[in-house]
Amino acid sequence: MSIHPDQRYLEGLLQNDTLLVQEIYQRFAGKIKHHILQHQGTEDDAADIFQESIIDIYHQAKYKELQLTCPFEPFFLLICKRKWLNELKKRSRQPVTKRLDDLYEVGEDAFAAAEQVVKEEAQANMYLAQFERLGEKCREILRLSLTGEAQEKIAAAMGVTYGYLRKKKSECMATLLSFIQAQKI
């Protein structure tokens, strides 16, 4: 499928194009505010969801090389709405039963792309939240070794042997995986 001209929004976010960010707010803030106020939320909830949705898209564009094959508007509005629905569920309120695409005629591609962004970003945020639950030492070891530092260098900097570092890293990772596993059950 060919890339939609609205790909410019994703490129603009990657470059922190302030004019484009302004455009996104001017065009969509009213719609999202209206939707969230209608569905048990506040202005602050709307502002948070809007901001988080833009950051989700930024991450997908940066790390997953997301390419839009549909217009930006339904894609973005669906992400905001889906995230709000998830938030309502988290707050254990009665989730709204309305269909997400009630207000827009949404193509399947927009729907699928939005769902994927929300799902993958929720998962990435869960991984990061579980990472934060690890002890300080574990976080330091994993942070250094996952972001490309040479293991020998890390061991020397921490004053431990290379063998100990490897063992510890493996233990920390195993703990993290068990935390993540527990979230999925």
Partner 1 sequence: MAAYNQEDIIRYVEGDMPPEERLQFEAILREDAALAESVQQYREVTAVLSARLQPDPGLQQLKATLETQRSHFHQKGKVVAFKKYFATIGVAAAVMAGIFLFRFYSRDTNYMANYGNIEMQVAAERGNNEDTLLQSAALYFNEKAYTKVIPLLDTYLSKDSSSQTALYYRGIAATQTGAVEAGMTDLVKVYQGESVFKYDAVFYIALYHAQTGNKKEALIWLKKIPADASAAAKAASLEKDLK
Evaluate the CA torsion angle 117, 120, 122, 125 in order and state its sign.
negative
Residue 112, interface with partner 1 (CB under 8 A)? no
Q: How many residues bind partner 1 (CB under 8 A)?
A: 50
Q: Which amino acid belongs to residue 165?
A: L
Asked if 21 is part of the footprint of partner 1 (rule: CB under 8 A), the reply reads: yes
Distance CA 38, CA 138 (A): 44
Comparison of 59 and 86: residue with beta carbon closer to partner 1? 59
Question: Which residues, other chains included, contact 44 with Cβ-Cβ below 8 Å and sequence gap of 6+?
Answer: none
Q: 16-32 as b/e, with b when 16 or more CB fall inside 10 Å?
A: eeeebeeebeeebeebb
| 71 makes contact with partner 1 (CB under 8 A) | yes
Decide whether 96 or 124 has the Cβ nearer to partner 1. Answer: 124
Place of tokens 């004053």: 159
- Residues 130-159 touching partner 1, rule: CB under 8 A, are 131, 142-143, 146-148
Instruction: Return residues touching partner 1 (CB under 8 A).
Output: 5, 8, 13-14, 16, 18-19, 21-23, 25-27, 29-31, 33, 43-44, 46-47, 50-51, 54-55, 58-59, 62-63, 71, 73, 123-124, 127-128, 131, 142-143, 146-148, 166, 170-171, 173-174, 176-178, 180
